[in-house]
Amino acid sequence: MFQKEEYFVLILGLDNAGKTTYLEQTKTKFSRNYKGMNLSKITTTVGLNIGKIDIGNVRLNFWDLGGQEELQALWDKYYAESHAVVFMIDSSDKERIEESKEAFDKMLSNETLCGVPLLLLANKQDLADCLSVPDIKTDFKGSAHKIGHRDCSVMGTSALNGDGVGEGIQWIVDSVK
């Protein structure tokens, strides 16, 4: 039997950004036998949610880590094993954009992640009055010099209704291979 190419993907971002919903949506879309949870009943990640999906010959293993301030201290324990990072932003929460940027900058300044592909997701695009993808790009512009030489993309998503989730996963597959 042929061996799958196996990769590890971290899903990071502040609590309430939509990380758990994104992982559930991903498993529902890409795992044939996965029945899924009721997405509207998901509550914020306190420990670690894991999931895996297979796309062709590629297996993506996801680690969705808790985003509360005290749990952010644990993120770097996973950096050495990661092949890609999804950083999720709640585009509807303008009051926490600065906090989100600080967590993002702190993550980027860790050298272990140097060169690891990075997907920024502007989540909750289904909500009226949320920040658009260009708005988020402008807000995060100050961090651009820290991104360095790596694949990086910013995309809009709605983890709740699934918009943009497939495109993001395809981007990860193309970047890690």
Choose between 29 and 150: whose C-beta lies nearer to ligand GDP: 29
Among 12, 18, 62, 121, binds ligand GDP (CB under 6 A): 18
Sequence-ordered list of residues with C-beta below 8 angstroms from that of 89, at least 6 positions apart, any chain: 13, 14, 17, 97, 100, 120, 121, 122, 123, 136
- Mask for 117-146, x = binds ligand GDP (CB under 6 A): ------xx-xx-------------------
Footprint of ligand GDP on 60-99 (CB under 6 A): 67
Q: What is the DSSP-derived secondary structure letter of residue 152?
A: E
Q: Is 28 in the site for ligand GDP (CB under 6 A)?
A: no
For position 15 contacting ligand GDP by CB under 6 A, the verdict is yes
Q: 32-61 mask for ligand GDP (x: CB under 6 A)?
A: --------x-xxxx----------------
Buried b (16+ CB within 10 A) or exposed e, 10-44: bbbbbbbbbbbbbbbbbbbebeeeeeeeebeebee
Residues 152-171 touching ligand GDP, rule: CB under 6 A, are: 158-160
Residues 6+ apart with CB under 8 A from 94: 131
20 part of the interface to ligand GDP, by CB under 6 A: yes
Q: For binding to ligand GDP (CB under 6 A), which residues are involved?
A: 13, 15-21, 40, 42-45, 67, 123-124, 126-127, 158-160
